[in-house]
Structure 1
Amino acid sequence: MSWRKEQRRAERGYHHGNLKEALLQAALGLIAEKGAAGFTFADAARMAGVSPAAPYRHFRDRDELLSSIAQRGFEQFETVLAEAWDDGRPDTLTAFERVGKAYLAFAREEPAFYSAMFESGLPINVNPSLMAAGERAFAVIRAAAERLAALSPPGTPRPPALMIALHIWSMSHGVASLFARGDAARRKLPMSAEDLLEAEVLIYLRGLGFPTDKRPSAPAEQGDQKPAGLRAGPWGTAK
């Protein structure tokens, strides 16, 4: 759900006393316009149509307001990634591809949330709820990496699944931040952001020795019915 639709509902709700939601949506609008560091507490109050003192009824300061937005963003992000992963159905690689597409789509469709989540400069350990929401979102990527690592032939040297998850997350975040958002670097690409990430992760997986020319056959994992090519997806041969 985009922040614009939520904002319209929040504005209607505020007339019935929903000040907290109105402030959250006002801040989201400002982030979309100016970035996570580009507005003040007073700006949020002004956009919500209330006095500069009103936000203190619900938020200690601007950082707490930003933290609430980032937490909501991570909660939505987790839902999007989990739906894309779908517990690895119908097979790990197909589901992995969907997660990559979902990552880039969220960054493109929810740039204000994405900015609050990753560009606000908030120390994540200050807010336990924000930290927990971020960990739950990352857990989806880690689960996908663990399933992917399990496809390796026995005895093949591999980094730990956590390291693979961090590497893939870093690649995805870089592509998303630079090329998959409305406020991206705007450098002209000879390919889509999805194709760029696909190539990047394909090279990474080949470097680790994953069989990128042929998908491992069953019974490597339950649900794979027959061998198939290891298809390239947004995460590279997998995303």
Structure 2
Amino acid sequence: MRRLLLAAAMLGTVSAAHAADMPDLPFLRGSFTDGLSRSNVNWEGYYVGGQGEYGAITSKISSTINSDIQSTFVTPGPAYNWQPLAFAHSNSAGYGAFAGYNGQWDDVVLGVEANYIHGGFKSTSNSVGQTFNNLNAVIATTVTSAVVGVSDFGSLRARAGYAWGCFLPYAFIGGGVGSQTVDRYASASPSSVQPATTFASKSKLVYGYSGGLGFDAMLVGGLFVRVEYEYLRVTSDIESNVNSVRAGLGYKF
């Protein structure tokens, strides 16, 4: 019996020594489940990430924005019936990146972030006008349209959040600059008796501001996911408003 107890004690000593000599492998220290169950996450530091978005854009174009183009058309007989344009709308998607720095005081997190979106946001408005004769037959038709695109926008944000376990809900506000393109078109039938301007386009650097809400969720190590809502208003030239939702993946160093 004494020999059996002595052998068991020696085996336990050898096993403990062997476990102490094993290397501490980082991938064995945590998992996605561990990350989502952590009660104290340190959000302080630099971070970078990528994101995608989907949203709706509305551009407040003037109803007579194409009057200069329309004036180049001269009717050979029947009067043209140009119809005014309404506000332009569309839905679209985009993608981009973000980078920033967080400072943390207990559960309060304050930071600054650079945010960029490359998108295909193009709001479109068009109208058709017709002229009728006494027999109610169409004798002249006009088509006019305007497309306002906000293809790129970069902003600098101020963020304020509250660390709640592995989650960081936050609000942000910022301002930035972007590229706005305005394409205008008009046509009329029957053809005019002199050459007419049918198309005009211009691009311009515009500015605006943004604000919204979101949250980051730490997964494992410094890897986190992001979901947020943003309202963007372009206030120069033609006013455009974009409401979008975003999802992203980032890493905090």
TM-score range, shorter chain: under 0.3
Question: Higher relative CO (CA 8 A, sep ≥ 6), structure 1 or 2?
Answer: 2
Give the helix-richer structure, 1 or 2. Answer: 1
Give the strand-richer structure, 1 or 2. Answer: 2
Relative to the length of structure 1, the TM-score reads 0.25
